């Protein structure tokens, strides 16, 4: 089976930024993509809120990201990921199954993004990027002084409709039910806004126009009456879901809502060595700039993880016999004992690995260590014995007298 240091699933802004940062740190990177690099930004005609680019097309920005990653030597592979399997034991194997074979990764970054749910009406796909949008923050500014429509009735639709009143002359909210599904306070806010007109009990049958979208054709579900609404922009908010089908059989990665991956501030998931970045995360704002930021953090966290794992493998798990002192760097007494240990090692001519569990918390769980500070003797990669210590004398006795 092919083994790689770092595998990144997804070649959107998060995955491409992660590839750039990881390669600059000297990590071997394999980036798995399906289709065109850039992710959802490829369907965005213009981007005006990415720092350093006053205006850029989604396609050009996505291509620039890819070329940047390629310039540092990141390897790309066009394939589909079928599943990911994580061994949460001390071995920590991460297997990615693709239509081109299985890959074993020492670390993994999931940057597979998300997908907006579609209305499914006539003209939606045709006018995508030419009047049809799925992001008010991205595209609202392009409709200054123009009428627009929002399709949907949940919190996102209502919030984005309120946001669009900053630019649009009028905002129609078209919802198939007779009342909104959003929170009451949000509903009251939009109903009190003179720029917003609810169109309840209607479904959108067609989005029409010439070169750009010009109108929405909506039908009342009860009466069958058809209403044509002239608008220049149509914003669809009928749902969004993370692209995590390949995790359907996984029970280890913690997720929220419809499957958003939960991470800590270092983008690490509940599985050691597996990170997530970008729109697939459970997060507040999904934008190109936040995805790129996630990717940078995930890459450097993965680099730190890999460095620690390789060090521990070489010093603790590979030798036939090894000694380790487990402590916490946020405990002054532990730090003082670690300093004494460093000085004693030089005179005793013995090698003892110092493991800071504050930075390597999961190795403590792997080895079943419950109290600190503790000395551990490893034998051929397995814990042979351990002893709670409080002085250099305790450490010396553990090694020389083989007692606790």
Q: Which residues are catalytic?
A: 135, 138-139
The DSSP 8-state label assigned to residue 317 in this structure reads: I
Query: How far apart are the C-alpha atoms of 150 and 238, rounded to whole Å?
Result: 10
Residues 6+ apart with CB under 8 A from 142: 46, 233
192 close to 162: Cβ distance less than 8 angstroms: no
Angle (CA) 238 242 248, round 5°: 125
User: Among the residues of 243-397, which ranges form H helices?
Assistant: 288-312, 332-348, 361-366, 392-396
Residue 176, φ and ψ in degrees, nearest 5: -70, -20
What is the DSSP secondary-structure string of 84-151?
EEE--STT--EEEEETTEEEEEEEEEE---EEEPP---BTTTTTBTTTEES-HHHHGGGGTT-EEEEE
Angle (CA) 256 260 43, round 5°: 150
């Amino acid at each position: 089976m092919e083994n790689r240091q770092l595998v990144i699933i997804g070649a959107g802004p998060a995955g491409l930024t992660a590839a750039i940062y990881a390669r600059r740190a000297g990590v071997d990177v394999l980036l798995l993509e399906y289709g065109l690099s850039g992710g959802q930004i490829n369907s965005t005609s213009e981007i005006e809120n990415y720092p350093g680019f006053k205006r850029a097309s989604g396609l050009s920005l996505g291509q620039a990201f890819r070329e940047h990653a390629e310039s540092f030597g990141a390897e790309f592979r066009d394939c589909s990921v079928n599943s990911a399997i994580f061994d949460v034991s001390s071995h920590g194997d991460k297997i990615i199954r693709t239509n081109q074979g299985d890959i074993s990764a020492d670390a993994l970054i999931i940057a597979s993004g998300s997908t907006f749910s579609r209305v499914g009406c006539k003209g939606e796909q045709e006018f995508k990027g030419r009047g049809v949008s799925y992001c008010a923050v991205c595209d609202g500014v392009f409709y200054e002084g123009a009428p627009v429509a929002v399709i949907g009735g949940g919190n996102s639709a209502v919030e984005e409709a309120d946001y669009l009143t900053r630019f649009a002359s009028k905002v129609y909210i078209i919802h198939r039910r007779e009342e909104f599904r959003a929170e009451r306070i949000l509903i009251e806010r939009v109903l009190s806004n003179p720029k917003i007109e609810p169109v309840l009990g209607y479904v959108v049958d067609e989005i029409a126009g010439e070169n750009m979208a010009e109108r929405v054709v909506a039908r009342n579900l009860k009466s069958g009456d058809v209403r044509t609404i002239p608008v220049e922009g149509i914003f669809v908010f009928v749902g969004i879901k993370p692209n995590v089908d390949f995790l359907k059989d996984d029970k280890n990665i913690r997720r929220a809502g419809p499957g958003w991956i939960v991470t800590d501030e270092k983008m690490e998931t509940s599985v050691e060595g597996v990170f997530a970045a970008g729109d697939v995360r459970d997060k507040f704002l999904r934008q190109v700039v936040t995805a790129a930021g996630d990717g940078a953090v995930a890459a450097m966290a993965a680099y730190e993880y890999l460095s620690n794992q390789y060090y521990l493998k070489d010093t603790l798990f590979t030798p036939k016999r090894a000694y380790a002192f487990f402590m916490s760097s946020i405990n002054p007494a532990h730090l003082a004992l670690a300093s004494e240990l460093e000085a004693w090692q030089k005179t005793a001519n013995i090698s003892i690995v110092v493991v800071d569990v504050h930075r390597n918390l999961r190795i403590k769980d792997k080895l079943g260590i419950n109290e600190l500070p503790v000395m551990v003797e490893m034998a051929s990669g397995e814990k042979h014995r351990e002893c709670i210590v409080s002085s250099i004398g305790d450490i010396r006795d553990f090694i020389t007298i083989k007692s606790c």
